[in-house]
């Protein structure tokens, strides 16, 4: 038993430090960029007309998570996944409103924002904001951990993941997300199971690639 | 030293970059795509970004249309399309190519195709019809990865219309040997249920079956649909309480495989879902709640408060405790947990604490008192989210003693915010509280004035109507003087406020109505004074026809009252010109009102009194719906040879129309498109078709289709009408069931009190009881003493606290004491019943269906064997639905236990702290083909560093410089 407790402590420490690092701004933005950043937000300021936009007025919502957004600190979109129906126009509006809301928040405040009767849970990792929109009565801390679960799985997959990985391999991030969430619900909470399934898919892709290249080799040799 | 370290690291990075320059490849993407991403990354403005994307769209349009595009290239184009759509641009020109890609045989392309269509298309898109066939084919594939990809698409794309096309296959996949497939099939069925509950209502028993799946992942996924089903109809799932409790117990006792652990907590996400389910099942149900007390208490004790996930579980437990039948021990534990949350430095935890407090005070109002200062701190916190949550809490704990303070604060906050949504919400809350708890008429009117002044255009028009009705009817007490006082103070304040500029339209309407109705009633203001004010309003708001209409009608009322009272009418010149102006208005409504006014003032006093009686707004007007006063006229016309009136629905042309429409409806409901192939009917398909149409088979169960409905359509009342009534009948039934389960009120545990008296003399239990009470009282005292030395609390805050919480202190404590005893004895009674059950239930450890631990551990100490019951229930449902899909209940038992035994047998290497990593590497070794893409995380961080260095170098090579726009691009997300 004592053995167990020490090891628990050790891992915990690791986790804690990881969290601390994550919420700590890694580098300070250069002055010019900061100006640009401010400028952006101003232009993207919320000029909303409440009509014809899905707001939550207390009716029971179908899925738990309505959408997942990854936004960089500059307000650039890195990944969007919509589980509830939104038109392209609404999506742009949501992104504009939420980046205005979230990116301006200070580091020590809550990781939750109330927005149009929904709640948006967000967490910053390095320069990326991971946001999930949920219903009024959902457990925010749980969603925060769903985000963390996603990031941990991304980290395992890419090998210390950074924003650039997600920029260039956003489709892979989608594949991983599809194994964690489906139709806005958490379908799998075991990191191992998700990793195993994604690896299985990738290995098939690899096999297909090798096959293709060997085929082209054969053709090349024959001709 | 840390700075130095970072510096050396930077140096190393540059060296690594130089070294790796020569290596090939780069994220597996083409140069073009990388260039695109790079240029967008470096775009300095949104306009520049848009320009780049537009050129890219042009390029892609051209390339995609080229006839000799290889599939490989096409895959990349589609990923580029995804990218531009993600940036908010329209890529619809390429959707059809994504659809085509799903038809490919190769899994890579298929996967890309499915990913693209799920991201591109909403479930009502026209192109979906082209994918259904592919999905059908893929669901039958031998390769489970293809099936998984198809199921992902099913969850996103299949709509009500296309459900029947894939439903039989999805149901079949619930029994698939691969757990990943079963899990996704469960989620797909859940999605179908959400889309159209009637089309899968005969299949919900499958969810119960999957609850005892051998794979914990599938079991966890099944909790999602079950949660939904239970939300809708609690009553049908009460039998599962024991099973859920037992599963939760086993999860909390770490009986699930180690891979479900997350930050040292055993399967926390499953625990949370189970707690949510228990929360529903135990609500207002003492008997069910008693099963839960032990396990919920255990979980609350075991929570790791240093980790976020531990707090998440704790919060969910508090929610559960405050929803199920109250248990004093648990309530105490919840109150302790809440105070930990509130005392925490983390804003997140404070927020959760406030939320949890809002839930707990429903059953234990005295809890709020302990935390008054913490609550006030949160109210003054700069964090808007926290502030809002605190206002929500205040809203929940408002009573007549503190309503003034709370509503004043809420109004101040409402004025300070810009967000329309929350402004509206706060405004309607203020109105609600003011209506409910107003201490005086004057205060009420003042408060409403403030609300309308600042948010009048945002509040629902119903609120304005409510206010008018309230002023007209009074507060419901039979106190005429109070009512007239209310009206007088309203009139007085409105006369003062009416001249202010920029009043919202809704507020002006209220003002006009009230002035018209009561402006001159109490004699404080003369008719000419009030009419003068009303004319001013109409002139100042000449563009608002509604306000003008209200003003004119108000004028008419005042003149009418004057005439009826026998006073001489002298109309102000501005009123005269206003009426003249309005009788030539473009708005016919205004015209009519103006003419009516002129007509009314021309009448004699007697007639006017009948037309416009004083203060008659609350009197009912009887409407002669059959227009019987016209009977004689109609009779006369008949005698002159007029044709009788034929209702529209009975006229010849209309009959055809309605028939046509009806047929249409029918076609739509039984999906116009055929999704089955037209080939030879294979035996499997033939066997399946009955299940598809079984939703219509439900119909004969409805005894009599409404005869009136059948008569209305002049046709054989055959299939369409019957199926229609059938479905509506079904829905109706569900509604009825749901409504039965209202929320009972717990704040007065009176009936159980008597119960406790009878048990009081039992044994040592009562003594412990007393001790507990004393202890809690002592703790309260110590809390007080701890609080008092904190001198830095400003007197203002203390005053606020007193005004917010002061009213509830004394009387409640006694009540809670009584509650304590009551539930404690009931608890003991529950234990007794447990004992009885234990004796009667046959103890069969090997039959333990869901036992998730090693079978050697004697777990049957727990009172009842839930799985035995589960087994029984499964059999019942099978009998009922007459679906002989194998006797699952019987065969499952040995199967699952052996499975979990196997799990735990292969477990030992998981015991070390880095179980995930070793597990992962194990997996990658085992998978055929050796997954080279997975960067197996190694124990020493150095390898990962190397990894990121290589990555770094690559992008440098690509020309993306991190020093420009975003220096953080390379920083590891997890630090």
Assembly ipTM: 0.75
β-partners of residue A118 are: A115
Token pair, residue B768, equals 């412990």
> HSE (CB half, 13 Å, CA atoms) of B461?
4
Residues 199-218 of B with CB under 8 A from A: 216-217
End-to-end CA distance of chain B: 18
Task: Tell me: pLDDT of B475 over 90.
Answer: no
Q: Which of B122, B351, B955 shows the shortest C-beta gap to A110?
A: B351
What pLDDT does B854 receive?
43
Q: Inspect the interface and report whether the beta carbons of B27 and A178 lie closer than 8 Å.
A: no
Task: Reduce the DSSP state of residue B639 to 3 states and report it.
Answer: helix
Task: Tell me: pLDDT of B67 over 70.
Answer: yes
Query: Residue B778 — very low, low, confident or very high, per pLDDT cuts 50/70/90?
Result: very low
Greater confidence, B42 or B789?
A: B42
Task: Tell me: pLDDT of B742 over 90.
Answer: no
Residues comprising chain B, all counted:
975
Concatenated DSSP letters for B99-166? HHHHT-SSHHHHHHHHHHHHHH--TT-TTHHHHHHHHHHHHT-SSHHHHHHHHHHHHHH--TTTHHHH
Residue identified by tokens 């589609």 is: B78
Residues comprising chain A, all counted:
223
Among A148-162, B63-77, B349-363, the least confident range: B63-77
Please tell me the distance in Å from B23's CA to the nearest CA on chain A. Answer: 18
Own/partner pairs, B11-16, CB within 8 angstroms, 24+ separation: B12/B945, B12/B949, B13/B949, B13/B952, B16/B946, B16/B949, B16/B950, B16/B952, B16/B953
Task: Tell me: pLDDT of B9 over 70.
Answer: no
Please tell me the distance in Å from B551's CA to the nearest CA on chain A. Answer: 28
Q: Which residues of B touch A134 (CB under 8 A)?
A: none
Looking at the complex, does the CB of residue B106 fall below 8 Å from at least one CB of chain A? yes
Interface probe with B: pick from A128, A141, A144, most Cβ of B within 10 Å: A141
Task: Tell me: pLDDT of A179 over 90.
Answer: yes
Among B277-281, B308-312, B818-822, the least confident range: B818-822
Residue identified by tokens 């135990």 is: B282
Q: What is the DSSP letter of B937?
A: P
Query: Cα–Cα distance between B174 and A173 in angstroms, integer?
Result: 27
Distances (CA, A) of B686 to B202, B280, B671, B693: 19, 41, 19, 12
Q: Which of A108, A164, A190 shows the shortest C-beta gap to B347?
A: A108
**How would you classify the pairing of strands A128-134 and A181-182?**
unpaired
Q: Which residues of A touch B231 (CB under 8 A)?
A: 60
What pLDDT does B445 receive?
84
Among A122-126, A201-205, B299-303, the least confident range: A201-205
Task: Tell me: pLDDT of B114 over 90.
Answer: yes
Token pair, residue B645, equals 């009136």
Residues whose CB is less than 8 angstroms from the CB of residue B503 and which lie 6 or more positions away in sequence, other chains included: B452, B453, B456, B497, B511
Query: Residue A12 — very low, low, confident or very high, per pLDDT cuts 50/70/90?
Result: very low
Element of type H or E holding B95:
helix B95-102
CB B154 within 8 A of CB B128: no
Count other Cβ atoms within 10 Å, centred on residue B958: 18
Top mean pLDDT of A208-222, B295-309, B497-511, B787-801 is at: B295-309
**How would you classify the pairing of strands A118-125 and A65-72?**
unpaired
Number of inter-chain CB pairs under 8 A, A vs B: 314
Element of type H or E holding A124:
strand A118-125
Radius of gyration of chain A (CA): 21
- Report the largest interatomic distance among the alpha carbons of chain B, rounded to a whole angstrom: 111
H-assigned helices in B417-544:
420-437, 441-455, 461-473, 480-497, 505-518, 527-540
Greater confidence, B927 or B663?
A: B663
Query: Cα–Cα distance between B697 and B700 in angstroms, integer?
Result: 6
What are the pLDDT digits (tens) for B258-289?
A: 889 898 889 999 999 999 999 999 998 889 99
Q: Which residues of B touch A112 (CB under 8 A)?
A: 348, 351, 385
Among B192-206, B505-519, B618-632, B647-661, the least confident range: B647-661
Torsion of CA A67, A73, A77, A83, to 10 degrees: 0
Region B292-313: mean pLDDT is 90
Please tell me the distance in Å from A210's CA to the nearest CA on chain B. Answer: 10
Task: Reduce the DSSP state of residue A135 to 3 states and report it.
Answer: coil
Query: Residue B644 — very low, low, confident or very high, per pLDDT cuts 50/70/90?
Result: confident
* Percentage of the residues of chain B whose pLDDT score is greater than 70: 65
Q: Pick from A112, A67, A73, A117: which is nearest to A94 by CA?
A: A67
Residues whose CB is less than 8 angstroms from the CB of residue B525 and which lie 6 or more positions away in sequence, other chains included: B491, B495, B519
Q: Which of B41, B221, B944 shows the shortest C-beta gap to A159?
A: B944
What pLDDT does B119 receive?
92
Query: Residue B82 — very low, low, confident or very high, per pLDDT cuts 50/70/90?
Result: very high
Query: Residue A169 — very low, low, confident or very high, per pLDDT cuts 50/70/90?
Result: confident
CB A88 within 8 A of CB A162: no
What pLDDT does A28 receive?
27
Among A143-147, B117-121, B410-414, B955-959, the least confident range: B955-959
What pLDDT does A124 receive?
92
Query: Cα–Cα distance between B515 and B558 in angstroms, integer?
Result: 9
HEC string of B754-812 equals HHHHHHCCCCHHHHHHHHHHHHHHHHHHHHHHHHCCCCCCCHHHHHHHHHHHHHHHHHH
Q: Is B476 left (phi over 0), alpha (psi -120 to 50) or beta?
A: left
What pLDDT does B672 receive?
56
CB B149 within 8 A of CB B138: yes
Please tell me the distance in Å from B876's CA to the nearest CA on chain A. Answer: 28
Element of type H or E holding A113:
strand A112-115
Among A12-21, B779-788, B927-936, B938-947, the least confident range: A12-21
Among B190-204, B555-569, B960-974, the least confident range: B960-974
Looking at the complex, does the CB of residue B642 fall below 8 Å from at least one CB of chain A? no
Residues whose CB is less than 8 angstroms from the CB of residue B658 and which lie 6 or more positions away in sequence, other chains included: B649, B712, B713
Region B870-894: mean pLDDT is 43
Q: Which residues of A touch B309 (CB under 8 A)?
A: 141-142, 145
Task: Tell me: pLDDT of B52 over 70.
Answer: yes
* Percentage of the residues of chain B whose pLDDT score is greater than 90: 19
Task: Reduce the DSSP state of residue A186 to 3 states and report it.
Answer: strand
Q: Give backbone dihedrals phi and psi of A78, rounded to 5 degrees, phi first.
A: -110, -25
Q: Which of B106, B156, B975 shows the shortest C-beta gap to A208?
A: B106
Task: Tell me: pLDDT of B316 over 90.
Answer: yes
Task: Tell me: pLDDT of B772 over 50.
Answer: no
Residues whose CB is less than 8 angstroms from the CB of residue B439 and which lie 6 or more positions away in sequence, other chains included: B400, B403, B404
Residues 722-781 of B with CB under 8 A from A: none
Query: Cα–Cα distance between B782 and B788 in angstroms, integer?
Result: 10
Q: What is the DSSP letter of B862?
A: S
Query: Cα–Cα distance between B428 and B4 in angstroms, integer?
Result: 58
HEC string of B437-462 equals HCCCHHHHHHHHHHHHHHHCCCCCHH
Q: Inspect the interface and report whether the beta carbons of B967 and A27 lie closer than 8 Å.
A: yes
Query: Residue A123 — very low, low, confident or very high, per pLDDT cuts 50/70/90?
Result: very high
What pLDDT does B912 receive?
40
β-partners of residue B482 are: none
What are the pLDDT digits (tens) for A102-119?
A: 999 988 899 999 888 899
Burial of B732 (0-12, 13-18, 19+ CB in 10 A): exposed
What pLDDT does B673 receive?
64
Q: Inspect the interface and report whether the beta carbons of A50 and B420 lie closer than 8 Å.
A: yes
Residues 27-46 of B with CB under 8 A from A: 27-29, 34, 37, 40-41, 44, 46
> HSE (CB half, 13 Å, CA atoms) of B939?
7
What are the pLDDT digits (tens) for B138-158?
A: 999 998 999 999 999 999 999
CB B817 within 8 A of CB B366: no
Q: What is the residue-averaged pLDDT of chain B?
A: 73
pTM score above 0.80: no
Task: Tell me: pLDDT of B696 over 70.
Answer: no
Q: Which residues of A touch B267 (CB under 8 A)?
A: 189
Q: Pick from B840, B756, B827, B861: which is nearest to B289 by CA?
A: B827
Q: Pick from B481, B569, B468, B577: which is nearest to B526 by CA?
A: B569
Task: Tell me: pLDDT of A37 over 70.
Answer: no
């Amino acid at each position: 038993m004592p053995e167990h407790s020490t090891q628990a402590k050790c891992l915990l420490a690791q986790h804690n430090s990881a969290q601390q690092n994550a919420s700590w701004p890694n580098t300070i933005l250069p002055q010019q960029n900061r100006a640009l950043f401010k400028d952006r937000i101003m232009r993207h300021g919320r000029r909303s007309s409440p009509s014809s936009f899905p707001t939550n007025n207390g009716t029971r919502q179908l899925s738990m998570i309505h959408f997942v957004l990854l936004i960089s600190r500059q307000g650039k979109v890195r990944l969007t996944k919509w589980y509830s129906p939104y038109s392209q126009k609404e999506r742009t509006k949501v992104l504009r409103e939420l980046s205005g809301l979230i990116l301006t928040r200070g580091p020590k405040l809550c990781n939750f924002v109330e927005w149009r009767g929904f709640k948006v849970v967000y967490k910053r990792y390095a320069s990326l904001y991971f946001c999930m929109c949920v219903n009024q009565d959902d457990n925010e801390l749980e969603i925060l951990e769903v985000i963390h679960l996603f990031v941990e799985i991304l980290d395992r997959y890419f090998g210390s993941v950074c924003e650039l990985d997600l920029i260039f391999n956003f489709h892979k991030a989608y594949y991983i997300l599809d194994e964690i969430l489906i139709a806005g619900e958490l379908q799998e909470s075991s990191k191992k199971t998700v990793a195993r399934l994604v690896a299985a898919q990738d290995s098939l892709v690899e096999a297909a690639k090798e096959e293709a290249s060997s085929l082209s080799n054969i053709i090349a040799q024959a001709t | 030293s840390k700075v130095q370290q970072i510096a050396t690291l930077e140096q190393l990075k540059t060296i690594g970059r130089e070294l790796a320059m020569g290596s090939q490849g780069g994220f597996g993407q083409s140069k073009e795509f990388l260039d695109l991403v790079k240029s967008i990354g470096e775009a300095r403005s949104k306009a520049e970004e848009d320009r780049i994307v537009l050129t890219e769209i042009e390029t892609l349009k051209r390339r995609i249309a080229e006839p000799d595009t290889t599939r490989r290239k096409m895959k990349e184009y589609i990923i580029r399309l995804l990218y531009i759509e993600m940036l908010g641009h329209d890529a619809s020109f390429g959707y059809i190519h994504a659809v085509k890609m799903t038809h490919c045989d190769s899994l890579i392309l298929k996967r890309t195709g499915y990913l693209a269509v799920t991201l591109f298309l909403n479930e009502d898109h026209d192109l979906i019809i082209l994918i259904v066939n592919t999905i059908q084919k893929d669901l039958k594939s031998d390769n489970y990865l293809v099936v998984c990809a198809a199921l992902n698409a099913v969850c996103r794309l299949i709509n009500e219309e296309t459900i029947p096309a894939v439903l039989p296959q999805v149901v079949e996949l619930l029994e698939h040997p691969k757990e990943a497939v079963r899990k996704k099939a469960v989620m797909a069925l859940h999605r179908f249920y959400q889309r159209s509950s009637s089309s899968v209502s005969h299949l919900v028993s499958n969810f119960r079956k999957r609850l005892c799946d051998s794979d914990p992942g599938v079991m966890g996924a099944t909790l999602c649909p079950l949660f939904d089903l239970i939300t809708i109809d609690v009553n049908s799932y009460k039998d599962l309480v024991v099973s859920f409790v037992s599963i939760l117990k086993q999860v909390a006792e770490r009986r699930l495989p180690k891979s479900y652990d997350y930050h040292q907590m055993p399967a926390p996400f499953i625990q949370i879902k189970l707690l949510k389910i228990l929360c529903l099942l135990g609500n207002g149900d003492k008997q069910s709640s008693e099963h839960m007390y032990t396990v919920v208490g255990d979980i609350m004790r075991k929570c790791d408060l240093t980790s976020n996930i531990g707090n998440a579980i704790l919060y969910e437990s508090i929610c559960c405790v405050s929803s199920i039948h109250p248990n004093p021990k648990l309530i105490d534990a919840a109150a302790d947990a809440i105070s930990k949350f509130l005392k925490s430095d983390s804003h997140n935890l404070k927020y959760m604490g406030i939320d949890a407090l809002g839930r707990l005070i429903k059953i234990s109002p005295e809890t709020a008192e302990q935390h008054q200062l913490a609550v006030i701190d949160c109210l003054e916190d700069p964090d808007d989210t926290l502030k809002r949550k605190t206002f929500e809490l205040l809203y929940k704990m408002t009573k007549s003693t503190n309503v003034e303070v709370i509503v004043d604060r809420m109004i101040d906050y409402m004025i300070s915010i810009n967000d329309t949504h929350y402004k509206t919400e706060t405004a309607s809350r203020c109105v609600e509280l003011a209506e409910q708890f107003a201490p005086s008429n004057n205060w009420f009117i003042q408060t409403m004035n403030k609300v309308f002044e600042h948010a009048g255009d945002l509040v629902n028009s119903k609120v304005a109507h409510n206010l008018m009705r309230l002023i007209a009817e009074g507060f419901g007490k039979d106190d005429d003087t109070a009512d007239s006082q209310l009206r007088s103070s309203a009139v007085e304040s409105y006369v003062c406020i009416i001249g202010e500029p920029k009043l919202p339209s809704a507020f002006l309407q209220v003002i006009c109505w009230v002035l018209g109705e009561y402006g001159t009633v109490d004699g404080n203001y003369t008719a000419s004074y009030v009419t003068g004010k009303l004319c001013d309003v109409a002139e100042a708001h000449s563009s608002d026809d509604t306000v003008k209409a209200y003003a004119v009608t108000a004028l008419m009322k005042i003149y009418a009252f004057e005439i009826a009272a026998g006073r001489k009418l002298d109309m102000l010149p501005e009123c005269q010109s206003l009426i003249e102006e309005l009788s030539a208005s473009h708005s016919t409504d205004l015209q009519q009102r103006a003419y009516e006014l002129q007509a009314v003032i021309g009448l004699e006093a007697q007639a006017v009194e009948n037309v416009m009686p004083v203060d008659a707004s609350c009197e009912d007007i009887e409407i002669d719906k059959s227009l019987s006063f016209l009977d004689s006229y109609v009779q006369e016309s008949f005698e002159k040879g007029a044709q009788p009136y034929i209702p529209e629905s009975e006229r010849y042309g209309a009959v055809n129309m309605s028939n046509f429409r009806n047929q249409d409806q029918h076609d739509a409901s039984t999906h116009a498109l055929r999704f089955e192939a037209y080939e030879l009917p294979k035996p499997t398909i033939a066997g399946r078709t009955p299940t598809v149409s079984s939703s219509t088979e439900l119909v004969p169960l409805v005894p009599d289709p409404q005869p009136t409905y059948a008569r209305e359509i002049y046709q054989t009342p055959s299939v369409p009408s019957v199926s229609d009534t059938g479905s509506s009948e079904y829905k109706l039934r569900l509604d009825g069931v749901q409504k039965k389960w209202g929320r009972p009120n717990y704040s007065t545990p009176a009936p159980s009190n008597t119960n406790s008296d009878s048990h009081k003399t039992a044994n040592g239990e009562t003594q412990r009881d007393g001790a507990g009470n004393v202890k809690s009282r002592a703790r309260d005292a110590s809390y007080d003493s701890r609080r008092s030395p904190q001198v830095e609390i400003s007197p203002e805050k203390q005053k606020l606290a007193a005004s917010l919480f002061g009213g509830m202190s004394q009387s409640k404590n006694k009540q809670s004491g009584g509650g304590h005893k009551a539930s404690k004895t009931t608890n003991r009674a529950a234990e007794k019943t447990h004992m009885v059950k234990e004796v009667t239930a046959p103890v069969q450890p090997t039959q333990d269906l869901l036992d998730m631990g090693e079978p050697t551990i004697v777990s049957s100490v727990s009172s009842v064997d839930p799985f035995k019951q589960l087994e029984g229930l499964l059999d019942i449902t099978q009998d009922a639905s007459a679906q002989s899909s194998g006797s699952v209940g019987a065969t499952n038992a040995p199967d699952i236990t052996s499975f979990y035994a196997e799990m735990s047998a292969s477990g030992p290497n998981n015991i070390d702290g880095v179980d995930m990593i070793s597990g992962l590497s194990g997996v990658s070794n085992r998978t055929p083909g050796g997954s080279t893409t997975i960067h197996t995380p190694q124990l020493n961080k150095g390898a990962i560093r190397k990894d990121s260095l290589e990555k770094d170098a690559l992008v440098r090579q690509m020309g993306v410089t991190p020093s420009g726009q975003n220096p953080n691009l390379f920083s590891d997300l997890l630090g």
